[in-house]
Amino acid sequence: MKDGLFTISEFASLLGVSKSVIYKWEKEGKTNKAKRVKRGKTMYRYYTTEDLRDFRATMNIPSPATEKRKQLFLNFKGGTGKSVISANYGYKLAQLGFKVLMVDLDPQGHLTKCLGRNPEEFSKTLYDVIINKDPIQSVLASTSLPTLELIPANLGLSPIELSLTNLHAREFKLRRALESIEDSYDLIILDAPPNIGLLNLNAILAVDDLLVPVLADFLSYDGLKILFETLKDIQDDFDYALDNIWIFLNRYNESMNICIRSHDAIRKNYSEYVCETLIRQNTTLSDATAQGKSIFEIAPNSRAAHDINKLVNEIFNF
């Protein structure tokens, strides 16, 4: 697959049918025929993400999303590559035909930039939804994929911590805002800033799953300790526990002893949460990010694309 396009073999695999079945459906007029592109003297068949959703709907093939989920990328330590990984993770899921909403909770707008949008072009953020009670639909933005939408962030979100302070039921404002649109998406994925505050408390209480990117160093290990202490306090205070927590290592370099030692320490102390997938150190992902593109658009066969795809497969058990 390249740039959101599928060969017939890839397309059939994603639908869970054989190539002959797809040929048969097309011949009988039950589904749209494949698109074609000429390369040299040969015409090649290809399918798009939209075709994937259309085929599933037309032929009553269940979505790979067995249930709707809300997921949060969070680490109280900065510099772990959280926004970059979450943007590419969400893009990959949207490429697979999931209807995905990405939510940027950081006034720096890093997730927004990673998805190819300029934060400053937006006049509204979640601040307007939560504090000014604007409809959440008014802040939705498009991306390069029809199955992927974004709630952007910029400096206009900055006052939200102070504004939340005096509100009734202030810890649940984000959950209630998302409730009005959650049925429209298979997955809602939030990217949070690296701090402890009311907005991140709102985010934790609004989601089902937590994904924690960490670097293979001992400072990240300290960050995990603070995070899990905070989650324990939230469970005690609000009687709320996340369904799933996944920890995964980012920028891993197997040739560095510090990476191996810290990986071993994290697996020893957080064994029930640690993913097998390692996002290995690479420069390709940084190049894609600089262009406001997904790794799956720029280098779909790269090591970075392989690792993020593996993370998606591990979490969703594909």
- The pLDDT of residue 4 is 60
- The pLDDT of residue 36 is 83
How far apart CA 160 and CA 240 sit, in angstroms, is: 23
- The pLDDT of residue 236 is 93
How far apart CA 275 and CA 311 sit, in angstroms, is: 8
- The pLDDT of residue 182 is 94
- The pLDDT of residue 1 is 46
pTM, entire model? 0.86
- The pLDDT of residue 67 is 78
- The pLDDT of residue 198 is 94
Tell me the pLDDT of the chain (318 aa) as tens digits.
445 678 888 888 778 888 899 989 988 888 888 888 777 777 788 888 888 888 888 888 877 666 789 999 999 888 888 999 999 999 999 988 899 999 999 999 999 999 999 999 999 999 999 999 999 999 999 998 888 999 999 999 999 999 999 889 999 999 999 999 999 999 999 999 988 899 999 999 999 999 999 988 877 777 788 899 999 999 999 999 999 999 999 998 888 888 888 888 888 889 899 999 999 988 888 888 888 899 998 888 899 999 999 999 999 887
On the CB side of 265, CA atoms within 13 Å amount to: 17
- The pLDDT of residue 312 is 94
The structure tokens listed for 228 are: 């899990």
